[in-house]
Amino acid sequence: MSTMRSVPRRTAPVAVLASVAIALGGCGSDGGTTDTTSDARASATARWREHNRADVTFAQQMVPRHRQAIQMAEMARTHTSSTEIRAFAAKVERARTAELSTMCAWLEEWGEEIPRSAGGTGHRGHGHGREGHHGPRGMTHEERMRHLEGTRDAEFDRTFLAMMTERHQQAIHEARAVKSTGAHAATKALADTVISTQSAEIIRMKVMMGIS
């Protein structure tokens, strides 16, 4: 009796596979069905890869911004005595490195120029008074980075957090813009990630700076 009961359990999967094979055979026998499925998949892939100039501009702006953030995070390994900031910087470095690789791959696929420098856009800092909250007023990005490189411990922490917060705010602004003007689905998905992740990081940095 036990042998008789075990047979259906062993053969059931075979029966299921046979049914699937028959069903697939039926689909395959209709030449139009397979072609339609392939066309639908190709169309979906094309829509996913479709992009416009806004997508390219976003990636080309974000690539140097991410490189800057990575450079700043690398400085934190040796310039701060705060374990909290060091851990935060390491997390930022990992996240921005992965996103940087993705955007460079898109630009290469699209045949667009990949910015090679981590240099800034030439914008100058907007400090308050003679000394801003992230270095002397009117500094270019390169000057501010050199200033950051020359700081240590508490001064580094203040400058690092202020500069990183500013970079995050700029990135969020650009991410919101590409969600409205871009066409590339993956770029819009990354923009969502940038907005959510970096908004949360700004909140954390404000806490570390003692700003409620």
Structure confidence at residue 172 (pLDDT): 98
Residue 58: predicted pLDDT: 98
Return the pLDDT at 50. 95
For 51, phi and psi rounded to 5 degrees? -145, 165
Per-residue pLDDT of 98-130, as tens digits, reads 999 999 999 999 999 999 876 544 444 444 333
pLDDT of residue 117: 73
Query: What is the end-to-end Cα distance of the chain in Å, rounded?
Result: 74
Could you tell me the two tokens for 132? 């801003």
Q: Where is 24: in which H helix or E strand?
A: helix 2-29
pLDDT of residue 35: 63
Alpha-carbon distance of 182 to 56, in angstroms, equals: 9
Compute the distance between CA of residue 60 and CA of residue 8 in angstroms, rounded to an integer.
61
Where do we find the tokens 């813009």? 177
pTM of the complete model beyond 0.85: no
Task: Mark the ranges of the chain whose per-residue pLDDT is less than 50.
Answer: 2-31, 33, 120-134
Question: Which pLDDT score, from 0 to 100, does residue 44 have?
Answer: 55
d(CA 149, CA 139): 14
CA-angle at 142, arms to 141 and 144, nearest 5°: 65
C-alpha span between 10 and 186 (Å, rounded): 44
In this structure, are residues 204 and 85 in contact, taking their beta carbons and an 8 Å threshold? no
Segment 164-173, tens digit of pLDDT: 999 999 999 9
> What is the structure's pLDDT at 116?
86
Q: Where are the alpha helices (DSSP H) in 30-136?
A: 31-49, 53-79, 83-110
CA 210 to each of CA 92, 99, 158, 205: distance values in angstroms, whole numbers, following the listed order: 20, 29, 10, 9
Residue 112 is encoded by which pair of tokens? 């667009």
